[in-house]
A = this chain, B = another copy of it.
Amino acid sequence: MNVLIVLAHPEPKSLNGSLKDLALETLTNMGHEVIVLDLYAMKFNAIMVPEDFKERADETKFNPIVEQYNAVKTGKTAEDVAAEMEKVNWSDLIIFQFPIWWTSFPAILKGWIDRVFANGFAFDAAEGKMYAEGLLKGKKAVLSFTTGAPWNLYTSEGPHGDIEVALTSITHNTMEAVGLEVLPLFGIFGPASMEEKELKKEMERYKAFLESF
C-alpha cells in the first residue's frame, strides 16, 4: 500500500513529530511504501492567491473554483500544487497528522486542502462529482491528532462537545466529499499533562492502530 503522511506541526520534536516517525517506521516495516510531507519543513505556501494561476479563464475577476478547474484541465496548475497532486494520486491512504487548533486543522493544513483538493482534481463541481462520485474514490484517510484539552472536555456533555461532531467539516464535508473513506479517528487527548508511562501507552496504541491496516 502507498501511504502519504501529511504532517502539520511547527516543532519536529513534538508528539506529532514522534507519531509521524512511528508511522513511518511501522508502516515501512509492514512493507508499505511511505512518503512524508512535512508542511512546515517544506514551508508549504498555504494561501491560495490569484498569482497561482498564470493563464486565467477570466482575467477580469478571480473566481478560485473556476480557475482551479481551468488550470487542472489545461495542465497549468501551479508547480508546487501539481507536485502534491501527484503524491495524492500515488497514495492509497493519506494520514493527516496534526495538532487540533480550534477543533480543526492548523492553517497550513487547511491551506493544503484549499489548494490541492482542487475542483477538477478532487471533485468536479460542474458535473456534481462529490461524495460517492468524489474523484479520490478508492483511497482512504486517517485523521491522527493531538489535543490540548483532555478527552472529557470533548464528550457530548463536555464544554467542547463531541469531537466527532466538531470535526464534521473535515471528516464529512472535506474527506468524504472528495470520495475518501475515513477510517476511525485516532486522537491523543491532553498529552501535555500525561506522564511518560501514559504517553508510551498512547504510542503503543497508535502502533497497534497502524498495524490493523
Contacts and interface: CB of A to CB of B under 8 A. Distances in A.
Interface stretch (A44-52, A85-93, A196-204): A44-52
A161 interface: yes
Interface in A75-127: 99, 101-108, 110-111, 113-114, 117, 125
A47 to B, nearest CB: 5
A175 to B, nearest CB: 10
B169 A49 contact: no
Interface of A: 10-11, 13-14, 40, 46-50, 60-65, 99, 101-108, 110-111, 113-114, 117, 125, 130-131, 148, 159-161, 165-170, 172-174, 177, 192
Name which of A11, A14, A110 has the most chain B CB atoms within 10 A of its CB. A110
A21 B170 CA distance: 31
A45 to B, nearest CB: 9
A10 B64 contact: yes
Copy total for this chain: 2
Given A107-B114, A130-B159, A173-B161, A46 B46 contact: yes
A14 B61 contact: yes
